[in-house]
Amino acid sequence: MKMATTPERRARFRFIRACGLSRRLILPSLALLTTLAALASEKHPEKPYALIFGTVYAPDNRPAYGVQVKIRRADRKKAQWELYSDHHGEFAQRVPPGAADYLVWAEPESKLKAEVKVHVEKDERVDIALHLTK
């Protein structure tokens, strides 16, 4: 018994034939792609890091957007990282793992200031808050 075909079904089969795909090749191809993706992620393991995560607050205790935040090691003079707070006043920076002290400060466009000293041990996350004051 021959199955009736609709124009949509015929168009789908024409597309599959035009692409050179057959039903027998689709499933093995997907399995191969999944295996290759897993192998690729194993080749490049992620390096360990510590994370300094913070929130910048304005004098009225609301999150401050667009404030420039600078981070440097306590034993150095120049800032190693410069970033900006997002719409929630938050920022995050990956730093090398290991015991170290960092100085984090905010430099908004106005005369307000905020500075925090952070100590990092190993590969951990440290949460801080920068409150802008006059």
pLDDT at 63 over 70: yes
Out of 31-45, 58-72, 106-120, give the one with best mean pLDDT: 58-72
The Cα 72–Cα 82 span in angstroms is 9
Residues 6 or more apart whose Cβ sits within 8 Å of residue 27:
none
Residues 36 and 54 in one domain: no
Banded pLDDT at 69 (limits 50, 70, 90): very high
In a domain, 99, yes or no: yes
Residues 34 and 71 in one domain: no
Residues 63 and 32 in one domain: no
Banded pLDDT at 34 (limits 50, 70, 90): confident
What CATH number is attached to the domain comprising 69? Answer: 2.60.40.1120
Task: Count up the domains in the chain and report the number.
Answer: 2
DSSP assignment of 71-86 equals EEETT-SS-SEEEE--
- Per the structure, the complete domain to which residue 20 belongs is given by 7-43
Residues 34 and 91 in one domain: no
Q: What is the pLDDT of residues 86-134, one digit of tens each?
A: 999 999 999 999 999 999 999 877 788 889 999 999 889 999 999 998 7
Residues 65 and 94 in one domain: yes
Q: What is the pLDDT at residue 96?
A: 94
Q: How many CB atoms lie within 10 A of CB 49?
A: 14
Residues 28 and 59 in one domain: no
Q: What is the pLDDT of residues 8-26, one digit of tens each?
A: 767 666 666 666 556 566 6
Q: What is the pLDDT at residue 23?
A: 59
In a domain, 1, yes or no: no
Q: What is the pLDDT at residue 52?
A: 96
Q: What is the pLDDT at residue 7?
A: 72
